[in-house]
Structure 1
Amino acid sequence: MAIANIKVTLMCPIEEVWHKVTNLHDFSWRSDLQNIKIIDENNFVEISSDGIETHFEVTEFLKYKCWAFKIENENIAGTWIGKFYSHGDRTTLDFTENIISKNFIFKPFIGFYIRKQQRLYFNDLKKELNCKEASFTQIL
C-alpha cells in the first residue's frame, strides 16, 4: 500500500480551479487520458493514453470543498480525496491517494507511480488554467 499526498497552491480563484478539476466533459487538457466515460452522477471511467480503464465511484462531492472517490482498475485499488481551500485569488489543492497494487511485480513501484501521476496532473492543470504556482509540497 502507498499513501501519497500533494499540496499545491495556485494563483487562481477557487471557482475556476473547481470547475476545471470536476468537469468530466472537458478532459482535453489531461495529457494522460484519451477518454472519460460518464456512467451516472456517481460513476465514471477514465481511459488512459495506454488504454487502461480506471473506474471511479464518487463518495463525496461538496462544492468548492471536497471531491472523493473509490478507484479501481486491473492493477490498483484504493481511494482518492481532493480538498480545496480558497485564499482570495489563490486556491490550495490538497490531494491524497491511498492505493494498493493488485500486481505483485508493481508493488515496489506504486509510490513512484502515484507521485509521477500527481505531478503530471498538476503540470497539466497549471498549463490549462494559465496560472502560476505559489507553493508545492509532495509527501509519500
Structure 2
Amino acid sequence: MTESKKKAVLKSRIEQVWEVVTDLSDCSWRSDLQRIDVLEPGKTFVEYTKEGFPTTFVITRFEPPYRYEFTMDNANMTGTWTGLFRRTDEGCEAEFTERVD
C-alpha cells in the first residue's frame, strides 16, 4: 500500500472549501477530469479522466464541513481517501490522505 498526504492552508472559509471539494456537479477546478457521473446521490459516483478512464467511488463518511471519506476502485488500483478540514486564523486547513494498492 502506498500512502500520500497533502496539506494546505487556504484563504477561504471552511464552508467554501468544503463546498468546492464535495460538489460532484462541478469538476471544472480539477484539471485531470473530464466529468463525474453520480450513480447514487450521497453514496456512489464515477470520475472519468481526460482520457475517459473511469474510477468508482463509494462515500463512507460525510461530516460537513470537517470530514469526507470514500473508497476508490478502478482496473489499476483500489484505495481510500480522507479529507479533513479545519478552521484556522487564515481560513481553512485542508489535509488529504490517499492510500492505494
Q: Which category of TM-score, normalised to the shorter sequence, fits these structures?
A: over 0.9
Aligned sequence identity (%): 38
**TM-score of the superposition, structure 2-length normalised?**
0.95
Write out aligned runs for 1:1-140 (5 A): 1-40=1-40, 41-100=42-101
Aligned to 2:94, what secondary structure does the other structure show? Answer: strand
Structure 1 or 2: larger helix share? 1
Extract unaligned runs of 5+ from structure 2.
none
Going by fraction, where is strand more abundant, 1 or 2? 2
Alpha-carbon distance in structure 2 between the residues aligned to 1:61 and 1:74: 26
Between the two proteins, the alignment pairs up a number of residues equal to 100
Question: What letter corresponds to residue 2 of structure 2 in structure 1?
Answer: A
| Cα pair 1:24 1:36 within 8 Å, conserved | yes
> What CA deviation, in whole Å up to 9, does each residue of 1:44-77 have, x standing for no partner?
0000012110000000000011000000011010
Deviation at 1:89, TM superposition (A): 4.8
Counterpart of 2:60, as a letter, is T
Deviation at 1:88, TM superposition (A): 4.3
Structure 1 contact 5–97 (Cα < 8 Å) conserved? yes
Structure 1 residues not aligned, in runs of 5+? 101-140
- Matched residues in 2 for 1:88 and 1:16: separation? 15
Which of the two has higher C-alpha Rg? Answer: 1
Counterparts of 1:22 and 1:88, CA distance in 2? 23
